Chain A
Amino acid sequence: KLNIGADTVQHGVEGLTYLLTESSKLMISEIDFQDSIHVLGFSDELNKLLLQLYLDNRKEIRSILSELAPKLPSYHSLEWRLDVQLASRSLRQQIKPAVTLKLHLNQDEDQIAQVLQTDPSTLLHLIQQLEQALGEMKTNHCRRIVRNMK
């Protein structure tokens, strides 16, 4: 319908995509955008159209780009059980408590599970460490940074 070869159309689309993603990525201002495309020598009307296209779609492009960053596995749920070992082949009359944990993680739309086992004193130590980590958020240093980010 445009009476041009398929290659030209493809290059045009790729060029536009590159222009919009780079501009959205760098979050450049209107004036900088206008200056940049002025160099290409298009008509004023086309420049205005491109600017409008950029401003309208900037936010959506940025939200799509933010999802492309690599992600570590994230927490989904935790199952646990508390067992007591009473006897084994080598030794009878024992009392050995153990906590078995199954950590369910989400990684890139898959679910993976990690099984861990620990004794109660290590578990208490783990809880203490995690509570200390949470407590770090309340220190002045962290509070200052959080305030500045807002």
Chain B
Amino acid sequence: MRFRFCGDLDCPDWVLAEISTLAKISSVKLKLICAQVLRDLLGDAIEYEKILKLTSDAKLESGDVKATIAVLSFILSSAAKHNVDSESLSSELQQLGLPKEHASGLCRSYEEKQSSLQDSLRACSLRLSQLGSVRWRVDYTLSSSELREVNEPLVHLVFNLRDGERGGMAAVPIAISADKFRVLLAELKQAQALMNTLL
């Protein structure tokens, strides 16, 4: 059976197996656990002791608690990845055997945070390098060892790059003459105009 929240593929076997574990927890507690899992997916710290307290009524073993967190992470992030709306998610989860109140509680939590989840997933997509900041300075060369009167402006640029491959910041300095700088600026303005036609 194909499910939209799995990207139009079959649901993984381990997710099917854990749906019955989810059904053991009450729907109110499940919604609170969802809120914790969403915090973890959005980059805040997860509060594991709260989750342990919430699952203690259902008498789950520690392996089951971790499996619950894993299956909720998968369902929520996969639904956000494939841009599934919350009604479709609710009906697909019910097809998998999750009781109606559990599915609707889960989907309400999902709906609240869907766009922030998608934003955070977009931000951690693969990116090779990223421009942090640019610093510049304009100098005026008066003379040099080759020529007594030079009288030329010179632009110094420093690009601070975040290296995607290894992490960490790298600074790339460039010194550029006034004419070349005008060419660079014209080309970049053309590129910017092209980008604006796409937005």
The answer to whether A binds B is yes
Place the interface of chain B in its size category. 10 to 19
Question: Among the listed A81, A89, A92, A115, which residue makes an inter-chain contact with B125, where contact means beta carbons less than 8 Å apart?
Answer: A81
Structural contact, B165 and A113, CB atoms closer than 8 A = yes
Q: Chain B residue with minimal CB distance to A100?
A: B126
The verdict on A79 contacting chain B, using a C-beta distance below 8 Å, is yes
Give every chain B residue within 8 A of A65 (Cβ-Cβ): none
Kindly provide the distance from the CB of A143 to the nearest chain B CB, expressed in whole angstroms: 24
Kindly name the residue among B126, B165, B166 whose own CB sees the greatest number of chain A CB atoms within 10 A: B126
CB neighbours (8 Å) of B152 from chain A are: none
From B126, B128, B165, B187, contact of A80 by CB (8 A): B126
| Cβ-neighbour of B165 out of A86, A87, A89, A115 (below 8 A) | A115
| Interface residues as binary, B123-138 with A (CB distance below 8 Å gives 1, 0 otherwise) | 0011110000000000
Query: By the criterion CB–CB under 8 Å, are B194 and A92 in contact?
Result: yes
Q: Please classify the interface of chain B as helix (H, G, I), strand (E, B), loop, or mixed, using the class held by over half of its residues.
A: loop
Query: Nearest-CB distance from A82 to chain B (Å)?
Result: 10
Q: Which residues of A contact B45 (CB under 8 A)?
A: none
Q: How far is the CB of B115 from chain A (nearest CB, A)?
A: 21
Task: Give the bracket for the number of chain A residues in contact with chain B.
Answer: 10 to 19
* Complex contacts, B128 vs chain A, CB 8 Å: 100, 115
Chain B stretch 163-192: residues in CB contact (< 8 A) with chain A? 165-166, 187, 191
- Please tell me if A38 contacts chain B, counting CB pairs below 8 Å: no
CA distance in complex: A13, B55 (Å): 52
For residue B198, CB closer than 8 A to chain A, the reply is yes
Chain B residues whose CB sits within 8 angstroms of the CB of A100 once the complex forms: 126, 128
What are the interface flags for B8-23 relative to A under an 8 Å C-beta threshold, 1 for contact and 0 otherwise?
A: 0000000000000000
In the complex, how many angstroms separate the beta carbon of B137 from the nearest chain A beta carbon? Answer: 26
Q: Looking at chain A's contact residues, is the secondary structure mostly helix, strand, loop, or mixed?
A: strand
Within B151-167, which residues are at the interface with A (CB < 8 Å)? 165-166
Q: In the bound complex, what is the Cα–Cα distance between A79 and B124 (angstroms)?
A: 10
Cα A89 to Cα B125 with chains together (Å): 26
Q: Assess A89 versus B187: contact at CB under 8 Å? Given A113-B165, A115-B165.
A: yes
A79 nearest in chain B by CB position: B126
What are the interface flags for A66-107 relative to B under an 8 Å C-beta threshold, 1 for contact and 0 otherwise?
000000000000011100001101001000000010100000
A81 touches B126 (CB 8 A): yes
Q: Which A-chain residue is minimally distant from B190 (CB atoms)?
A: A89
A102→B126 CA distance, assembly (Å): 8
Q: Roughly how many angstroms separate A129 CA and B194 CA in the complex, as a whole number?
A: 38
Residues of B within 8 A of A81 (CB): 125-127
Please name the 3 residue pairs, one residue from A and one from B, whose CB atoms are nearest each other, closest first.
Answer: A79-B126, A81-B126, A87-B194
13 A–B contacts from the bound complex (CB under 8 Å): A79-B125, A79-B126, A80-B126, A81-B127, A86-B194, A86-B198, A87-B191, A87-B194, A89-B187, A92-B194, A100-B128, A113-B165, A115-B165
Interface residues of B (CB under 8 A from A): 125-128, 165-166, 187, 191, 194, 198
